[in-house]
Amino acid sequence: MSASYTSPSCYLMWALLSCTLFAFLIYHLYSFDRFKCLKWNDGPHSGAFKRVMTYSYFLTIPLFMVYAVGFSVIKYKEGYIALPSVGIVPAPYDTWSPTARSFHFPLMLCFAIAWSLEMVTHLQELCFWLFLVSADADRNHWFSSHYFKAWIMGSIFAILYMPIIAICTRENALKATCTFLAGSLGSLLLTILFMPILRKLPALLDNLRAEGADDGTIIRLTKFHELNTIRVTFRYLFTIPLLILGSSGLNPPQHVTGNTFWSDLCAFAAAIGCTASSGITLIIFFPRSVESEVSRQSARQRESESCQSKSPDLDLSSKQYVISTSSETVAMGKCVTITRPPPIRPNRLREEDVELGGIGTPPPHYGIPNVPSMQPNRKTGDEVELGGILSPASTTLNFSDVEPSGRSNNHTFVNSTIYSYTSPISCVLLHPSCVNMN
């Protein structure tokens, strides 16, 4: 897609879709955590890696929007021109005003930087999932893996080569198609490399079910598989049309770029693919939990209502109690809220893990080993039978061999980090043996 070939309506569509995507970005991040994820110190796990991934992705969409809106204004301002042997076509770069020409290189540089940052995001997710499905249980630290090192090297290359190509072709607007050719080749390669992961995920889900993974893990991975399948389809829709335009612009017989219909068709398809894939990436990197949001909102509402009531009585039917510590506290409008912790819901044991008819044992979620029971002293006739400590029954499950997430420790097929997966940029910061955070 070159500014010399495409029509003004093409850039107008790019501008509308990019602005819509930016509005969705603002809405989603506000609903996600009220923009707390954009803070420099976002919790105890906001290290350099998470900052780089968050800010690089947050800059990608605005840069795409600046590129599309800028060229849309230029193309409509320059309009069309009638060529004797061609007909009425969009005004070529040579006929632009000096002001419009001065904006060509900055806008192309914005597009190149945005595309390089997007490739950094896609490469990180590719390396992260290759790490999850390939790493052994004994080597399950993301930052010490060779996949993390490959992401660093690939990211440095992507950040450098795209702007360099835009700088080297700034003197000739017709050679700007090299930027689209280089970017589409890099993105298409990442998309193709992601296909084996999509093929492995169904078997991975079956393996997790066999190992007794909790429903939350299965649900998150199934949702990721469906979203990423759709996103990969749109990424093909984004990269292949730009690859056609980029390669056609370098050849002397410009069959595609010289034809307004095919040029606009490829550009329209690329705009739809870029917008849809970027929106799904936003959902995957910053996943919202509507259930958790409703629970937090209800808790805040109950707390505000209890504070307004200022009642010294305890409401035993509620999860919160309002206690007035003194008359002075009530006069100042203060209240103390004590929140009763939610009941612990143990994970269900599989029938093959424990035999029926055994004594009651604590579920594995508590992390309590099989504790021996105590027998009190008993009087049998004139004699007293002394009690003691009984060894645990052999039919009960040894909970020291069960990990906190409720799965047996005999798994050898997947990395344990996958059990705590919530997002490619947040879950990797947690220890692999962490429990489900949702």
Task: Tell me how far apart the alpha carbons of residues 241 and 263 are, in angstroms, rounded to a whole number.
Answer: 9
- pLDDT tens-digit profile, the chain (438 residues): 555 568 899 999 999 999 999 999 999 999 888 888 888 876 666 678 888 888 888 899 999 999 999 999 999 998 888 877 777 888 888 888 999 999 999 999 999 999 999 999 999 999 988 888 775 544 557 888 888 999 999 999 999 999 999 998 888 777 788 888 999 999 999 999 999 999 988 888 888 888 787 888 888 888 888 999 999 999 999 999 999 888 876 765 555 666 778 888 889 999 999 999 999 999 988 887 777 667 777 777 788 777 776 554 444 444 444 444 444 443 444 444 444 455 554 444 444 443 333 434 444 443 444 445 555 666 555 555 665 555 444 334 333 343 444 444 444 456 666 776 677 776 544 444 443 333
Question: Is 122 inside any structural domain?
Answer: yes
Question: Is 348 inside any structural domain?
Answer: no
Domain span including residue 163? 8-289
Question: Residue 154: which CATH number?
Answer: 1.20.1070
Question: Is 118 inside any structural domain?
Answer: yes
Question: Is 419 inside any structural domain?
Answer: no
* CB proximity list for 205: less than 8 A, separation 6 or greater: 218, 221, 222, 225
Distance of CA 155 to the CA centre of its chain: 18
DSSP 402: B
Question: Is 371 inside any structural domain?
Answer: no
Task: Tell me how far apart the alpha carbons of residues 68 and 107 are, in angstroms, rounded to a whole number.
Answer: 8
Helices 146-168 and 177-193, axial angle in degrees (round to 10)? 160
Question: Is 267 inside any structural domain?
Answer: yes
Q: Which of 61, 135, 141, 73 is nearest to 104 (CA)?
A: 73
Q: Kindly state the helix (H) or strand (E) to which residue 321 belongs, with its residue range.
A: strand 320-323
Q: Are 108 and 93 in contact (CB under 8 A)?
A: no
Longest dimension (CA), the chain: 124
Which phi-psi region, left, alpha or beta, contains residue 96 (left: φ > 0; alpha: ψ -120 to 50)?
A: beta
Q: What's the number of domains the chain is made of?
A: 1
Q: Are 363 and 435 in contact (CB under 8 A)?
A: no
Question: Is 198 inside any structural domain?
Answer: yes
Q: Give the pTM.
A: 0.70
Listing DSSP states for 270-318 in one string gives: HHHHHHHHHHHHHHHHS---HHHHHHHHHHHHHHHHHHHH---S--TTS
